[in-house]
């Protein structure tokens, strides 16, 4: 999604138990000139029942606004990556931005950069990525905060050389010199491997070859078998996650057993340009409702069935200043005035999720 470099903070609920609300999060982006103030966003977040929020700027005032709440997050511009890739720069940033927000704001993860390895400025930014991750982690260690705040980075599926079937997946060879030490870092520090996963992109690119029900995660779909592993994939999202698990194992099987894959972004646009197949309110409601259902079931992937899914929905609001095709500005659950974009009861209650979807596909 966002092509610029981000420094992200993922926040835990006050009581980090493995309930559906604690496992599901939402992205709170603010690339718009008509969005409500943070106080209004906080009211919407409170009504959603999710336990985590991913923010796109590390503004101290914004972090303070999420104090004693279930969620919050943060971002910096590309020039900041080089700044925090030195011990002194990282220490200064952590001491001035992160440490003052704790413990009132429950920061769980710092994601240094978003899709850096495959972005437009990858050649300039990639050399600073791992040093920044290591320096931020070392700064947290010095302050005794490394046990409560993990450090990672977010990728997209473009880091893969092949993705089908999942068991045959492996990373691009040109990225291995960077990915291998990053994987070692994850295994050593216990931080998760983050991958933005959008079944919508696969469907929009090949609507004739990808079944809509499979991409929408519909429970009635019969699933797609992996002929090599014998596993059957009920939906594309868990298939994409296992694709990454297999790619990690193909790179370093020892590391693979110690690294968890999480999804910091997934979603479906409710509108798009005329050539953006499938971008409708009905499909968006169906997809997001099924993501809630999957997380609520507490199950893992076919390859990792014992680990519950950890997913962040994209996004809280439609953002009218995001660049790119129309779909980029229509991923939100809410319009800027706080009204729902489509009919979706986005709430968990007593460990279960409930949602409704439009009955008219033309909505």
Q: Which residue among the candidates 205, 211, 213, 265 is catalytic per the annotation?
A: 265
Cα–Cα distance for residue pair 315/73, rounded to 1 Å: 13
Cα–Cα distance for residue pair 114/137, rounded to 1 Å: 17
Q: Exposed/middle/buried for 172, CB within 10 Å: 0-12, 13-18, 19+?
A: middle
- Tally helices (H) and strands (E) across the chain: 12, 14
**DSSP helix/strand/coil, 7:** strand
Half-sphere exposure of 186 (CA within 13 A, CB side): 27
Q: In this structure, what are the phi and psi dihedrals at residue 99, rounded to the nearest 5 degrees?
A: -55, -45
| Pairing of the two strands 232-233 and 224-225 | antiparallel
Our answer to whether residue 205 is catalytic in this structure is: no
Cα–Cα distance for residue pair 74/54, rounded to 1 Å: 7
Contacts of 77 (CB under 8 A, 6+ apart): 4, 5
Our answer to whether residue 343 is catalytic in this structure is: no
Q: Which residue among the candidates 115, 276, 297, 319 is catalytic per the annotation?
A: 115
Cα–Cα distance for residue pair 119/140, rounded to 1 Å: 27
Half-sphere exposure of 115 (CA within 13 A, CB side): 16
Active-site amino acid positions = 115, 265
């Amino acid at each position: 999604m966002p092509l610029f470099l981000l420094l992200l903070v993922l926040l835990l609920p006050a009581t980090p138990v493995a309930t559906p609300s604690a496992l599901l999060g939402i992205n709170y982006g603010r690339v718009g000139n008509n969005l409500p103030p943070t106080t209004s966003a906080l009211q919407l977040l409170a009504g959603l029942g999710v336990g985590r929020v991913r923010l796109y700027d590390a503004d101290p005032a914004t972090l303070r606004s999420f104090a004693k709440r279930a969620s919050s997050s943060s971002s910096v511009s590309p020039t900041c990556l080089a700044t925090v890739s030195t011990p002194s720069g990282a220490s200064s940033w952590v001491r001035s931005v992160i440490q003052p927000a704790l413990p009132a704001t429950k920061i769980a993860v710092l994601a240094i950069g978003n899709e850096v390895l495959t972005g437009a400025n990858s050649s300039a930014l990639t050399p600073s990525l791992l040093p920044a991750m290591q320096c931020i982690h070392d700064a947290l260690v010095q302050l005794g905060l490394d046990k409560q705040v993990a450090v990672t980075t977010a990728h997209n599926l473009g880091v893969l050389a092949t993705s089908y079937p999942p068991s045959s997946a492996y990373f691009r060879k040109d990225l291995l010199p960077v990915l291998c030490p990053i994987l070692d870092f994850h295994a050593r520090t216990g931080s998760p491997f983050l991958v933005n996963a959008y079944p919508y992109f696969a469907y929009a690119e090949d609507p004739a070859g990808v079944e809509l029900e499979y991409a929408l995660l519909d429970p009635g779909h019969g699933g797609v078998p992996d002929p090599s592993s014998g596993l059957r994939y009920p939906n594309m999202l868990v298939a994409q996650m296992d694709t990454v698990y297999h790619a990690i194992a193909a790179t370093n099987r020892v590391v693979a057993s110690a690294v968890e894959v999480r999804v910091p972004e997934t979603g479906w646009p409710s509108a798009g340009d005329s050539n953006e197949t499938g971008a409708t309110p009905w499909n968006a409601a169906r997809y997001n409702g099924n993501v809630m259902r999957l997380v609520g079931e507490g199950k893992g992937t076919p390859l990792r069935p014992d680990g519950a899914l950890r997913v962040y929905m994209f996004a809280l609001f439609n953002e009218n200043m995001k660049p790119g095709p129309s779909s980029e500005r229509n991923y939100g659950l809410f319009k800027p005035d706080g009204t729902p974009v489509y009919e979706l009861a986005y709430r968990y209650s007593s460990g279960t999720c409930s949602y409704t979807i439009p009955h008219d596909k033309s909505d």
